Structure 1
Amino acid sequence: MVGWIEYELAGADLGEVRFALSPMNELALSLRTWREPGRYPLQLPWLQLTQDARASLDGEMLLALTNDNLWTPDFLTPRPWSPLTRFDDELAALAATPLDVVRDDIAEVHPDPALRPAALQGRRDRVLRRITSALSAYWTACFEPWWPRMRAVLEADIVFRGRTIARDGLAAMFADLSPRIRLVDGVVRCEMTSKIGFRRSTAGEGLTLAPTLFTRNATAPISAEEAPLILYGARGAGTLWESDRSPAPHALAGLIGEPRARLLAVLDSPASSTELAIRLGVTTSAVNQHLRAMRDAGLLSAARHGRSVLYLRSGLGDELVRVGA
């Protein structure tokens, strides 16, 4: 590790920490997979699925928004304020980015003007309009069809982190985010691969934690002027593009039926009905019927998170799967 960022929590409790999602962050960070797909093997199925769509986009501009270190300009990874953040709102905020911020953040990523990609040169207002247009088209072609599935994984991660805090405390939650993150004496330290080092307080702003599908460890804004934010790899990213068509345990299927046994078997981590339908290759309405029946029987717990209801095996469900395996 060659760099670090430290955030001093103004109050070492949950009140200083919030979780949020950012579609724009996911969009910007995903550009790393264009430059070095081999470093993101979990996303190769998505890259293959979107290959034809990406060929019609403004690839010159989109590739210019990263560098060889896989940095992206900070204004493309805004601090989200809610798990319900909408892409359209973030796109409008991007279009209104002050031009001096655009200039400075691009210079952080491409410091040598002579080597700066041609797409990022010229009048800053025109550059910003082209960036906004390129990202809007990228979202429509490559993200919008898949976003419900992506969002379900991200929301499930947040629910899991909340349960970790309730069970084991804030320090344990931070320790589980990434080997690069730890909380010691009220200071959250995030180790970075970039040559930076600063400490700043979260007083008046708090610290936002945002799960992402497009980082292998953890990352944060490279400028001390940016609001406190840590992006960390979401749980379940490895199963995002997989379909789970394996048969349910035979004994369990004989007891509660094949469809419900398959659902119960995969619900060892929180998931929404939309995500489960995709994974199991069935309709969402069919999944919902089975989920409600198993929840009413005490085999599942359910918690609303944003616009989704996330389901998880209860203690009774865990025991049933164990005995029926």
Structure 2
Amino acid sequence: MLIAATAGTLPPALRAPLRQTFATRRLDLLAALVRVDRDAGHYIPDFLTPLPPGFESRTAEELHAVATTPTWRIAGELNVAACGELANTVGRTLPRGLIETDEQQTAERLATELEQVWLHVLAPRWPRIRARLEADVADRLQTVGRQGFAAAIESLDPRIDWHDGAVRLHGRFEVEVREAAVTFLPSVFITGAATVIDPVPQRAVPGYDPEQPGPWPYPQRRPPMFVYPVAPRKPGTPAQAAREAELIGRTRARILAAVADPATTGEVAGRLRPSPSTVSYHVQILHRAGLVRRTRDVRRVLYQSTRGAG
């Protein structure tokens, strides 16, 4: 969500709750770093969007990664945000008055503020978001199996391609990153691909010359991360819906259409008016047939149609 805010593409449904959370919870430092206006492209410190330790990483793990960011990285990235070349290029600078003199205190404060954003903005929406993310990853893996890795990469976004064994993203900046690995993350918040590329060594080290040989000026370089938009769902045409009703029955076809977005059997029953037990019976049949996928939440089970996904 923060990356969508930096790109200026945060959905309207989230802009108001995020602003309200900033104001009511007094998240002053995070509010200074993140603008939620439409087309408000800017840079925020990359340590606020850490590499996830795994696909099933927990929120507590990612907040811990923010809070325990090495001080050299905090200082370097805050310097980029406050007065670096990149900040000047995209038109966003950070008020220095809000920064703690102790970098670790700054990171811990930001982790605490991020937790409030999670609790009040994202957590209520997370089951459906997670279901869409998992569905997209499953579809991308099928593309890898059917068409190969290059085809899967080029299906992520029109600006991303695979060329001579390397991933390229066509954008406003020209940067060559010689890393052995890249992390790809799906997002339901962005409309176009975004990158997180370590800005610290080139822009925050006094006297650093990338053309000169020598040791890397910092202990560790962060691997690049590509964030790509989850593919939009492709609704069936009326003719397809009619064929489905003929093949699987009108009730199951209606249920299949009702789970184009992730939903529980109770929610489907509320929309279509059959009993929850009837919906559950038909959903289980659709699931065994591979027409819906199931995602387990802590308290609920969500179902989503596999028709036209990817």
What TM-score comes out, normalization by structure 2 length?
0.70
Residue 216 of structure 2 is matched in structure 1 by none
Q: How far, CA to CA, are the matches of 1:279 and 1:177 in structure 2?
A: 34
Residue 256 of structure 2 is matched in structure 1 by 264
Q: CA 1:52–1:71 in structure 2 vs 1: closer, same or farther (change >3 Å)? A: closer
Q: Residue 6 of structure 2 contacts residue 41 of structure 2 at CA under 8 Å; is this kept in 1?
A: no
Q: How far, CA to CA, are the matches of 2:31 and 2:241 in structure 1?
A: 46
Q: Does 1:290 align with 2:275?
A: no
Q: Residue 212 of structure 1 contacts residue 231 of structure 1 at CA under 8 Å; is this kept in 2?
A: yes
Residue 211 of structure 1 is matched in structure 2 by 186
Q: CA deviation at 1:167?
A: 1.5
After superposing on structure 2, the runs of 4+ consecutive aligned residues of structure 1 that deviate more than 6 Å are 282-286, 303-310
Among 212, 222, 245, the alignment partner of 1:226 is 222
Residue 44 of structure 1 is matched in structure 2 by 12
SS at match of 2:253: helix
Q: CA deviation at 1:311?
A: 5.3
Q: CA 1:212–1:249 in structure 2 vs 1: closer, same or farther (change >3 Å)? A: closer
After the TM superposition, which residues 164-183 of structure 1 pair with which residues of structure 2 at under 5 Å, given as runs? 164-183=143-162
| Number of residue pairs aligned between Structure 1 and Structure 2 | 268
Residue 30 of structure 2 is matched in structure 1 by 62
Residue 98 of structure 1 is matched in structure 2 by 70
Which structure 1 segments of 5+ residues have no match? 1-25, 240-245, 316-325
Residue 199 of structure 1 is matched in structure 2 by 177
Q: CA deviation at 1:134?
A: 1.0
Q: CA 1:192–1:146 in structure 2 vs 1: closer, same or farther (change >3 Å)? A: same
Residue 6 of structure 1 is matched in structure 2 by none
Which structure 2 segments of 5+ residues have no match? 88-92, 200-220
Q: How far, CA to CA, are the matches of 1:80 and 1:176 in structure 2?
A: 22
Q: How far, CA to CA, are the matches of 1:63 and 1:216 in structure 2?
A: 22
Residue 207 of structure 2 is matched in structure 1 by none
Q: CA 1:56–1:95 in structure 2 vs 1: closer, same or farther (change >3 Å)? A: same
Q: Residue 161 of structure 1 contacts residue 173 of structure 1 at CA under 8 Å; is this kept in 2?
A: yes
Residue 60 of structure 2 is matched in structure 1 by 88
Q: CA 1:302–1:214 in structure 2 vs 1: closer, same or farther (change >3 Å)? A: closer
Q: CA deviation at 1:314?
A: 7.3
Q: Residue 46 of structure 2 contacts residue 196 of structure 2 at CA under 8 Å; is this kept in 1?
A: yes
Q: How far, CA to CA, are the matches of 1:151 and 1:250 in structure 2?
A: 30
Q: How far, CA to CA, are the matches of 1:277 and 1:260 in structure 2?
A: 15
Q: CA deviation at 1:133?
A: 1.5
Q: CA deviation at 1:155?
A: 1.1
Q: CA 1:81–1:275 in structure 2 vs 1: closer, same or farther (change >3 Å)? A: farther
Q: Residue 264 of structure 1 contacts residue 313 of structure 1 at CA under 8 Å; is this kept in 2?
A: no
Q: CA 1:197–1:145 in structure 2 vs 1: closer, same or farther (change >3 Å)? A: same
Q: How far, CA to CA, are the matches of 2:18 and 2:234 in structure 1?
A: 18
Q: How far, CA to CA, are the matches of 1:250 and 1:181 in structure 2?
A: 37
Q: Residue 197 of structure 2 contacts residue 225 of structure 2 at CA under 8 Å; is this kept in 1?
A: no
Residue 163 of structure 1 is matched in structure 2 by 142
Q: Does 1:150 align with 2:129?
A: yes
Q: CA 1:133–1:81 in structure 2 vs 1: closer, same or farther (change >3 Å)? A: closer
Q: CA 1:201–1:251 in structure 2 vs 1: closer, same or farther (change >3 Å)? A: closer
Q: Residue 76 of structure 1 contacts residue 94 of structure 1 at CA under 8 Å; is this kept in 2?
A: yes
Bigger mean CA offset, 72-81 vs 51-60: 51-60
SS at match of 2:128: helix
Q: CA 1:131–1:53 in structure 2 vs 1: closer, same or farther (change >3 Å)? A: closer
Provide the aligned C-alpha RMSD in A: 4.0
Q: CA 1:304–1:89 in structure 2 vs 1: closer, same or farther (change >3 Å)? A: same
Bigger relative CO (Cα 8 Å, ≥ 6 apart): 1
Q: How far, CA to CA, are the matches of 1:56 and 1:74 in structure 2?
A: 25
What TM-score comes out, normalization by structure 1 length?
0.67
Q: CA deviation at 1:226?
A: 1.4
